[in-house]
Amino acid sequence: MNIAVCIKQVPDTAEIKWTENNTIDRNGLESVINPFDVYALETALRIKDKYENIRITALTMGPPQAEEIIRKAISFGVDNGFVITDKKFSGADTVATGRTIANAISKCIENVDLVICGQFATDGDTAQTGPTISTNLNYALATYVKEVLNIENGFITVKKEVEDGIETLKLKLPAVICIQKCDYEPRRPLIDGFIKAQKAEIPYYSMDDIGLEADKVGIKGSPTYVSKAFRPEQKHGGEIFENLTTQESVNKIIEALND
């Protein structure tokens, strides 16, 4: 069974710079794997621990330096990975991104049964790319997944957390699942994983490689655009009270609650 895990490199700090076109300037930012994608990787690796003949491919769309996070994924135990990168991809919104990633999955990996994404990326926070990948591939979809329960006879059963409780869903494979924070700790890199990661060949695929045209990708292929980006008003930063007695503290809080 082939699993594709979609991961994204996100800035690690609150230092965000925007280009003149109001897209994110990723130059010089410290980057990490999107925290939700770490859970997506862990979910894939847990499936590999439990079942035979599982092959996991990690892929990312981004600038060439996103190769780092693919190596990192390999150090965790992922089998291989690649980067989808092309200047023409820049400025893509979720519709264009989902289309690009879906095309890469069907062109560059054979017979993918399961695509795993993180529920959100901490930079964009749209939660739309996973569902968009599923529509482009015409795969079954479940979002807000907390746990994979089992995979058998062409079906995957998952637990999904919604506002009022936990649903158990049975999806026909092939499927796309989007993972939210799980109740378990993601694993740390393996020692031989580091060596494997260093040695691994990470192919880059361009727009031509994945068979898309310029009007379907990047800013041209995106139906939305940012017209303005602005920092919200900093409304907080009030009074701090030190050396109050317990009763005075209580009174202050009650005053604030009634205000």
Partner 1 sequence: MTREILIYAQTNREHKILNVVLELSCAAQELSKKLDNCIIAALLVTDGTNLEQNKNILKQNGFDKVYIAQNTEFKNYNTKYYSNIAINLINEINPEIVLIGATTQGRELAPVISSRLNTGLTADCTGLDISDEGKLVATRPTFGGNLMANILCKNYPQMATVRPKVLKISDYPLEKNTEFITINSDISNIEKDVEIVDFIPNIQLTDFRIDEAEIIVAGGKGMKSKEGFKLLKELADVLGGSVGASRGAVDLKLADSSIQVGQTGKTVMPKTYIACGISGAIQHTVGMSGAEKIIAINKDKNAPIFKIADVGIVGDVFEILPKLIESLKERR
Q: How far is the CB of 127 from partner 1 (least distance, A)?
A: 5
- Map the footprint of partner 1 across residues 65-84, applying CB under 8 A: none
How many residues make contact with partner 1 (CB under 8 A)? 77
Among 53, 162, 188, 191, binds partner 1 (CB under 8 A): 162
CB nearer to partner 1: give 186 or 189: 186
Q: Which is nearer to partner 1, 35 or 63 (CB)?
A: 35
Q: Which is nearer to partner 1, 64 or 170 (CB)?
A: 170
Give the integer Cα–Cα distance in Å for 210 and 105. Answer: 9
Taken in order 132, 111, 67, 122, the sign of the CA dihedral is: positive
Those residues with Cβ within 8 angstroms of residue 249's Cβ, 6 or more apart along the chain or in another chain: 241
Tokens describing residue 3: 């699993």
Backbone φ and ψ of 137, nearest 5°: -90, -10
Give me the least distance between CB of 165 and partner 1, in Å please.
4
> Does residue 171 contact residue 155 with C-beta atoms inside 8 Å?
yes
State which of positions 94-153 bind partner 1 (CB under 8 A): 94-95, 98-99, 122-129, 131-132, 134-136, 140-144
Inter-residue contact 142 to 160 (CB < 8 Å): yes
Give the up-direction half-sphere exposure of residue 84: CA atoms within 13 A in the CB hemisphere: 33
Nearer to partner 1, 67 or 93 (CB): 93
Closest distance to partner 1 from the beta carbon of 79 (Å): 26
Scanning the structure block, which residue is given the tokens 């919104």? 93
CB 24 within 8 A of CB 18: yes
Residue numbers 22-61 binding partner 1 by CB under 8 A: 22, 35-36
Q: Establish if 205 lies at the interface with partner 1 (CB under 8 A).
A: no
Which of 8/196 has CB closer to partner 1?
A: 8
Contacting range for partner 1; rule: CB under 8 A; set: 51-59, 68-76, 177-185, 195-203: 177-185
Environment class of 171 (CB within 10 Å of its CB; exposed 0-12, middle 13-18, buried 19+): buried
Nearer to partner 1, 28 or 165 (CB): 165
